Amino acid sequence: MLEFVRRNRVVLASGSLLLVALLLLSTGARNRQRLDPLSAILLEILRPAQTVGAAAMRSAQHGWRRYVALAGVQRENDLLQQRVHELEQQLGRIAEIEATAARLEQLLAFDAGLHLDGVPAQIIGRDSDPWAGALTINRGERSGVVKNMAVLSPQGVVGQTTAATAHSARVLLLTDHNSGIDAMVQRSRARGIVQGALDGGCVMKYVQRGEDIDVGDRIITSGLDGIFPKGVDIGTVTHVTRGTRGLLQVAEVKPSAAIDRLEEVLVVRGAPTASEPTP
Nearest to 195 by CA among 260, 128, 252: 252
Taking CB under 8 A as the criterion, the residue among 26, 128, 244, 278 binding other proteins is 26
Nearest to 229 by CA among 140, 111, 103, 104: 111
Report phi then psi at 181, rounded to 5: -125, 130
Contact map string, positions 122 to 151, toward other proteins, x by CB under 8 A:
------------------------------
Least separation in angstroms between residue 24's CB and other proteins is 3
Least separation in angstroms between residue 71's CB and other proteins is 20
Q: Toward other proteins, which CB reaches closer, 16 or 165?
A: 16
Q: Is 103 exposed, middle or buried (0-12, 13-18, 19+ CB in 10 A)?
A: middle
Least separation in angstroms between residue 61's CB and other proteins is 6
Nearest to 194 by CA among 245, 156, 163, 145: 156
Taking CB under 8 A as the criterion, the residue among 2, 5, 11, 166 binding other proteins is 11
If binding is defined by CB under 8 A, does position 44 make contact with other proteins? no
Least separation in angstroms between residue 63's CB and other proteins is 13
Which of the ranges 20-28, 74-82, 111-119, 126-134 carries the binding residues for other proteins, by CB under 8 A?
A: 20-28
If binding is defined by CB under 8 A, does position 226 make contact with other proteins? no
Q: Is 175 exposed, middle or buried (0-12, 13-18, 19+ CB in 10 A)?
A: buried
Q: Toward other proteins, which CB reaches closer, 36 or 212?
A: 36
# residues near other proteins by CB under 8 A = 33
If binding is defined by CB under 8 A, does position 49 make contact with other proteins? yes
Q: Toward other proteins, which CB reaches closer, 56 or 112?
A: 56
Which of the ranges 11-19, 71-79, 156-164, 262-270 carries the binding residues for other proteins, by CB under 8 A?
A: 11-19
Please give the Cα distance from 261 to 277 (Å, whole number): 24
Q: Is 206 left (phi over 0), alpha (psi -120 to 50) or beta?
A: left
Least separation in angstroms between residue 45's CB and other proteins is 9
If binding is defined by CB under 8 A, does position 61 make contact with other proteins? yes
If binding is defined by CB under 8 A, does position 68 make contact with other proteins? no
CB of 237 within 8 A of CB of 226? no
Taking CB under 8 A as the criterion, the residue among 1, 2, 3, 32 binding other proteins is 32
Q: Toward other proteins, which CB reaches closer, 49 or 166?
A: 49
Q: Toward other proteins, which CB reaches closer, 22 or 112?
A: 22
Contacting positions for other proteins (CB under 8 A): 9-11, 13-15, 17-18, 20-29, 32, 36, 38-39, 42-43, 46, 49-50, 52-54, 56-57, 61
